[in-house]
Each structure stands twice: as C-alpha cells, then as structure tokens.
Amino acid sequence: PFSHEVLEDPLPFQAALRDAGPVVHLDRYGIYAMGRYEHVHAALTNWQGFPSGAGVGMSNWRHEEPWRPPSLLLETDPPHHDAPRAVLEPILSPRALRLLRERWFADAEDLVDTVLTGAGDTVELDAMAELAETFPLRVFPDAVGLGRDGRENLLPYGNHLFNAFGPDNDLVAQGAGRIGELSAWVNAQCARETLSPDGFGARIWEAADRADITPEQAPLIVRSLLSAGVDTTVHGLGACLHAMATHPEQWQRLRDDPGLARIAFDEAVRWESPVQTFFRVAEDDIVVGGTLVPRDDKILMFLGSANRDPRRWEHPDSFDLSRDPSGHVGFGMGLHQCVGQHVARLEAEALLTALARRVGRIELAGTPRRHHNNTMRAWGALPVRLTRA
Ligand code: OVV
C-alpha cells in the first residue's frame, strides 16, 4: 500500500484488498490489513481489542521507540486519553465555533475576490496553492493563536508526521533532514507565552489552570492541533475542489443550493479519504472474519477502502451530493473520531460558499499532479480554470 504506484492510484489495491478477505496479511511488512467497511468500522469502535497506545503507525511502540513524544489524544487509550479529549472537545465544538463563523466567511470572500481580481471572465490558477492551502493557513493559525513567523513550517511538519505513520521508506527519508528544526519550531509554538490570549491554544492552557489537565499535558495538546489541523484540511479542501472540477453537474447543484456545502465536503472526504489509513494493534489473539490476528501484531485500517466498499455504499466511486455520506470513516470512528471535524467543516463551508457565489464554472486547466504521502491522499498541483458567475 505504500509503493509509489499505489500512492499514485490506490483504488485497484483497495479493491483487491477488500476482495481478498476481511483480513489480509501483508507479508512484505509483517502486518495485517482490513479494507472492508464492516470490519474497519467494528475495529475502530473496539478500542479495548484494537488499542492505539502502541502507536497508530506501522511501528509498534511496545518494541520500538517513538520518533516524537506520543500524542496525548491520538496515541493513547482510556483512561489517559479521556481528560485531553474532554478538554479539547468543547474548545472545537460547533457551539464554540459560532464565534468564528462570520470572520471565516468574510475571509473566504476576500480570498476568492482576490484570486478573481483583475482577470477577465476566466482565471487559471493552481487550486492547491491558491485556495486549498491559502485558506486554512489564513484562518487556522490565527484561531489557534500562533504568531506571524514560521507558519510556512506547518505543512512540511504535518507532511513528515503523516509519512512517519507508514514504513521507513524514501518519503520518510526525504523529510528526516528538516524534522529536527520543524519540530523545534512547532514545540516552541505550544508554550503559553507564545500563544495569543484569545485562541484555542490559550483555552487549552486555561484547562491546566483548572487542573482538568496538567501543565505538562497542555503543550502536547496544542501540538495535536498543529499536527492534525493543517495538512488534513488542506487535502480535504483539495479533494473537494478536484471533485467539483471533474463533476460540473455537482458544482451546478452546489451553486443552486449553497446549503449543500457541508454535504459536499463530507462526500469529498468519503470519496477521497484525505487520511487513507491508520494502524491499530491487536491487544490479544483475535479472530476477525475467520482469520486469526495474533496478539501484538499491527493492523492497517484502510479508511479509504472502507469509504469505497461496495458492500456498504451504492456506486461508491461516484461523487454524488444526493447521497448521505454520513457514516463514512474518513474522520475515523469511535472514541478517537476527529475532534477537529467541525473546524474542518466550517473552513470548507466558508470557502465553498464564497466560491459558489462567484464562480459559475470550475474545470481542470491541465493535468493535476498527485502528492505522495504514506498516509494522506493528496494533490500537489491542481490547475483549474474558474469562470466568473
Ligand atoms: C489525527 C492526528 C494526526 C496526526 C497527529 C495527531 C492527530 C496528534 O494528535 O498529534
């Protein structure tokens, strides 16, 4: 699953994985893998049987040292998981985000106006660089409370982190040279003194004042925002823009009813699964669909494959705003399900609404280029032509 051929187009591999059985052994890595919705969903909602505390990447921290201090959210199990999760959830809740909604919608309109300015009826641009990256990088670091300097470190840090969940291959080697410097910057942003007093980061530190978490836990929870909150959203938006550029009838539907923006984003997350995979470990010998998974072995949960499983979805490969995408596992499932999903949806809703108002047509203006990452399904370049409404 981590070869460049599969990263370029994972769909044939995913179909083969699902058809081979509920659980498949990948001899090359000595791991198990699940590709069907039913079993992925069941495993994700069984944290006792398939815990996260041995890491959610390929390497098993019962036997190997983690490359960075583990995440207090992603890479832990109850009871340790619960206080950090309980602190972060209300900070990122739909209710808390109501305060950001107007500003983010205005920021999205500004950005779309800027990219359309000066052009005639049409403008050609790279939708990754100009929209999918620019918008999250404009609104999210401000919301966390970061300073101005060094924000360009966020994407390469996340890119390496998501590569590091996979095998120790060329992609990890490419990122290894800069990761010391990038980690030092990220870690410095998590200190109380570095964060503005009115962002998500400051809210996390206030939880330490209330002793809901310890002062040692606070910076690591801020680190989770910076780790999981940027690349994921960028590639979720990229997936959505690519889907729209290749499905003009769905773009028209969104233009006719911008209230579909959230459905459009979730359908894009199902269709593309920007986060393709996470691992779990077998707590004990466990039989899944007739196959024994031995205690301590790592199992790859193929979220992207579950989201395209024809056993669960009608016409899984079609991007269709009339389907109900809820139940997709693109944000995970169970007690680790993405705590930032409401932030991602709000960013998407703001950008898609602004585009739907001003852009009559979005179409490919060249061949898009994939960006290969061991965990993310991503575009490196997405040349599009926008036609003013
Ligand atoms: C979901 C996710 C991805 C990467 C990092 C983290 C979480 C984290 O908590 O650091």
pLDDT in tens, 131-140: 999 999 999 9
Q: How confident is the model at residue 316 (pLDDT cuts 50, 70, 90)?
A: very high
Q: Whose CA is nearest to atom 8 of ligand 1?
A: 224
Residues with CB under 6 A from ligand 1: 71, 73-74, 161, 223-224, 227-228
Please give the distance, rounded to the nearest whole angstrom, from the Cα atom of residue 169 to the centre of ligand 1: 20
Q: Whose CA is nearest to atom 1 of ligand 1?
A: 228
Please give the distance, rounded to the nearest whole angstrom, from the Cα atom of residue 223 to the centre of ligand 1: 8
Pair of tokens at residue 159: 């890119």
**Residue whose CB lies within 8 A of the most ligand 1 atoms, among 44, 71, 225, for a mutation test:** 71
Counting from 1 in the atom list of ligand 1, the atom nearest the Cα of 161 is 4
Q: Say if residue 197 is exposed, middle or buried (CB neighbours under 10 Å; 0-12, 13-18, 19+).
A: exposed
Q: How confident is the model at residue 19 (pLDDT cuts 50, 70, 90)?
A: very high
Q: Are strands 359-364 and 369-372 parallel, antiparallel or unpaired?
A: unpaired
Please give the distance, rounded to the nearest whole angstrom, from the Cα atom of residue 32 to the centre of ligand 1: 22
pLDDT at 131: 98
pLDDT in tens, 34-73: 999 999 999 999 999 999 999 999 999 999 999 999 999 9
Axis-axis angle for helices 134-144, 341-358 (nearest 10): 140
Counting from 1 in the atom list of ligand 1, the atom nearest the Cα of 162 is 4
Please give the distance, rounded to the nearest whole angstrom, from the Cα atom of residue 333 to the centre of ligand 1: 14
Please give the distance, rounded to the nearest whole angstrom, from the Cα atom of residue 16 to the centre of ligand 1: 28
Residues in Cβ contact with 2 at an 8 Å cutoff, skipping those fewer than 6 apart = 166, 167, 169, 374
pLDDT at 100 over 80: yes
Counting from 1 in the atom list of ligand 1, the atom nearest the Cα of 338 is 1
**Residue whose CB lies within 8 A of the most ligand 1 atoms, among 161, 165, 187, for a mutation test:** 161
Q: Whose CA is nearest to atom 9 of ligand 1?
A: 224
Ramachandran area for residue 273 (φ above 0: left; ψ -120 to 50: alpha; else beta): left
pLDDT in tens, 319-336: 999 999 999 999 999 999
Pair of tokens at residue 372: 């290969």
Q: To the nearest whole percent, how much of the chain has pLDDT over 70?
A: 100
Please give the distance, rounded to the nearest whole angstrom, from the Cα atom of residue 328 to the centre of ligand 1: 19
For 4-388, CATH gives 1.10.630.10
Q: How far apart are CA 263 and CA 196, in angstroms?
A: 33
CA 45 to chain centre: 19
pLDDT in tens, 67-97: 999 999 999 999 999 999 999 999 999 999 9
Residues in Cβ contact with 100 at an 8 Å cutoff, skipping those fewer than 6 apart = 139, 143, 346
Please give the distance, rounded to the nearest whole angstrom, from the Cα atom of residue 220 to the centre of ligand 1: 11
pLDDT at 337 over 90: yes
Q: How far apart are CA 280 and CA 35, in angstroms?
A: 14
φ, ψ (nearest 5 deg) of residue 95: -60, -45
pLDDT at 122 over 90: yes
- In three-state secondary structure terms, 47 is coil
pLDDT in tens, 255-284: 999 999 999 999 999 999 999 999 999 999
pLDDT at 119: 67
Q: Whose CA is nearest to atom 2 of ligand 1?
A: 228
Please give the distance, rounded to the nearest whole angstrom, from the Cα atom of residue 292 to the centre of ligand 1: 29
CA atoms lying within 13 Å on the CB side of residue 71: 18
Q: How confident is the model at residue 120 (pLDDT cuts 50, 70, 90)?
A: confident
pTM confidence score: 0.98
Please give the distance, rounded to the nearest whole angstrom, from the Cα atom of residue 255 to the centre of ligand 1: 34
pLDDT at 304 over 80: yes
Q: How far apart are CA 155 and CA 235, in angstroms?
A: 11
Please give the distance, rounded to the nearest whole angstrom, from the Cα atom of residue 356 to the centre of ligand 1: 31
* Unique residue bearing structure tokens 């077998």: 282
**Across residues 272-301, what is the average pLDDT?**
97
Q: How many residues appear in the chain?
A: 389
Q: How far apart are CA 383 and CA 127, in angstroms?
A: 6
**Residue whose CB lies within 8 A of the most ligand 1 atoms, among 217, 220, 227, 231, for a mutation test:** 227
pLDDT in tens, 210-258: 999 999 999 999 999 999 999 999 999 999 999 999 999 999 999 999 9
